[in-house]
A = this chain, B = another copy of it.
């Protein structure tokens, strides 16, 4: 159909009201990328996931037949953006369910619904000693009896105040050049900005007068899906504000393996770096404007992300991360000036990254383990962080082992028909009665637009309890309700009627969704089992479980046990700890001790590779039930479901 390859067509996107020109033969997804419009595309444009549905309002495209669109959808001019090649000017409507939220994903949960930041910080017991601090010094003016040179006078004053040895101090060349003037500008009162670089201190800046209160830092959690930033007032440890956006790299692929492939095949490493750097700059810009802060007063930025995200941020070659034997360029990345990668803060401000353990266990995990002080636990405890993958750490103050389970992003809403991230409109709590009545609450209390991790977890647990699904996760076909129905050859259960939702359809959960979620929770439980066994322990000997991730603001830990994601233990010993990657990043920013603890954790953690591990496959198969094939491992769930069944039987 593409008659003239040199033709350029105008593509007009609605409701964004953006128009771009692209060449004939490009896909609608290409055009959306060019317009900087985010479209759900889990498979990265391979025509597999069916997430990138858009409505063709006018114009013609060349699209192959697909089973990913229902007849109904096809009639309404739905097309898959990744497969539809442009052959004319187009008007494209992006339906609500295909759009990604532009903003407000995962604010600082800890502050909102858990312990206050202050309480978390107090509990962690890290000494306040910021990575980049400002110190006001009143120097003695020189005289004939005290004719020490300017630079040494400053260094001596710093030593006196900080107890730091002169020889481990570095001074930037540009600082030396302006020093005599700055020292004399405010009658020998100056504020020196000191930055940690390994075990040396660098004089990052010297300013006339006392500006020690004007010192801010940015802590960043670089997730594969979302990027969250907190602005901290360094002197007071106060979190001034937080902000989050989607990771722009999503347009290159939903998970990081896809992005590495894209980067390598298209020589697009620089493009990847630009994407994350501009995300970070946008976050900083928003925070700075909203709080009327001078960009020059931000002297440090600290990032915690997985190994691949760090490689993209620094522009380091990520290719070997995905190829055996899975070798990153660096796990420990030395601090550099933020401007070296293009991050706009103080022109000499430092960019720190927390260290990774291996290709698949990143700084988000070391940061989280430090935030919960796993390194101080007397008894073996578990730290589980569920994001796009599920990472599990088992350890105490003496040892730590970790692994990465390919749990998939189901609990982040991907691979689930009405799954979504913990953003506005997401169902985060769900109850289902014995009469199959569904009640729920959404983030932001607006009509539901989908279900986030905590809601999905509730959903599976409640469907199991109410007998909608059996222990294999299969729908009980004999149920007396029209909410269970067959559509396009697949069973699905209607959770929210169309008129109640904030999107143009019902919210349902399908048999395939359930299978995905069960596989996901099974992968996590199997990883837990392998780690516990590998250390010669039994689950009973695990003292505490810390569950982290972007599930939502509330997480029902009892439900996590009921579906067999977490081991069966008193819920009092399970703590939902939210975004620990960001929490650890904030701690490290204001405490060199915390930064060192993360480094020690990263150095000492032993990585278990589960890929190709036969035992893991067996554990995974066993965990692929609700709660598990070995019901004896879940006595409380066995009891709970037995009583539930009795009740259900009694009613029927």
Contact = CB atoms under 8 A, between A and B. Distances in A.
Contacts of A181: 317
Nearest to A333: B176
Interface in A293-328: 314-317, 319-320, 324-328
Contacts of A152: 330-332
A326 B151 contact: no
A197 B173 contact: no
Given A168-B200, A332-B152, A142 B327 contact: yes
A609 interface: yes
A49 interface: no
A70 interface: no
A177 B315 contact: yes
| Most B-side CB within 10 Å, residue of A142, A197, A198 | A198
A198 B197 CA distance: 12
B177 A317 contact: yes
A315 B173 CA distance: 10
Q: How large is the interface on A (under 10, 10 to 19, 20 to 34, 35 or more residues)?
A: 35 or more
A501 interface: no
A265 interface: no
A358 interface: yes
Interface in A130-158: 142-144, 146-152, 155
A362 to B, nearest CB: 12
Contacts of A326: 147
A180 B317 CA distance: 7
Interface string A601-628: 0000001010000000000000000000
Contacts of A151: 329-333
Contact of A179 (B149, B197, B330): B330
A150 B180 contact: no
A359 interface: yes
A173 B149 CA distance: 32
Contacts of A647: none
A61 B607 CA distance: 85
Given A198-B168, A199-B167, A179 B334 contact: no
Contacts of A200: 168, 197-200
Contacts of A146: 325
Nearest to A340: B173
A600 B641 CA distance: 77
Contacts of A143: 325
Contacts of A166: 332
A197 B170 contact: yes
A181 B327 CA distance: 12
Given A173-B314, A198-B167, A147 B327 contact: yes
A116 interface: no
Nearest to A321: B149
A169 B149 contact: no
Contact of A331 (B149, B168, B315): B149
A148 B320 CA distance: 12
Contacts of A155: 332
A144 B613 CA distance: 13
B170 A330 contact: no
Nearest to A181: B317
Contacts of A142: 325, 327
A176 B329 contact: yes
Nearest to A197: B170
A176 B317 CA distance: 9
Contacts of A170: 197-198, 334
A538 interface: no
A16 interface: no
Interface in A411-450: none
A153 B572 CA distance: 42
A171 interface: yes
Contacts of A169: 198
A163 to B, nearest CB: 16
Contacts of A176: 314, 316, 329-330, 333-334
A336 interface: yes
B330 A150 contact: yes
| Most B-side CB within 10 Å, residue of A149, A336, A340 | A149
A177 to B, nearest CB: 6
Contacts of A179: 329-330
A200 to B, nearest CB: 5
Interface in A328-358: 328-334, 336, 340, 356, 358
Interface in A248-267: none
A147 B199 contact: no
Given A152-B331, A328-B149, A332-B152, A316 B177 contact: yes
B317 A144 contact: no
| Most B-side CB within 10 Å, residue of A146, A327, A331 | A327
Contacts of A327: 142, 147-150, 180
A328 B179 CA distance: 11
A177 B168 CA distance: 26
A320 B199 contact: no
A334 B171 contact: yes
A146 B331 CA distance: 14
Given A143-B325, A180-B320, A324-B144, A330 B173 contact: no
Nearest to A611: B144
Given A148-B327, A167-B198, A173-B314, 6 more contacts: A142-B327, A168-B200, A176-B329, A180-B317, A180-B327, A199-B199
Interface of A: 142-144, 146-152, 155, 166-171, 173, 176-177, 179-181, 197-200, 314-317, 319-320, 324-334, 336, 340, 356, 358-359, 599, 607, 609
10 A-B pairs closest in CB distance: A151-B330, A149-B328, A149-B331, A144-B325, A173-B336, A180-B317, A147-B325, A142-B327, A150-B329, A171-B334
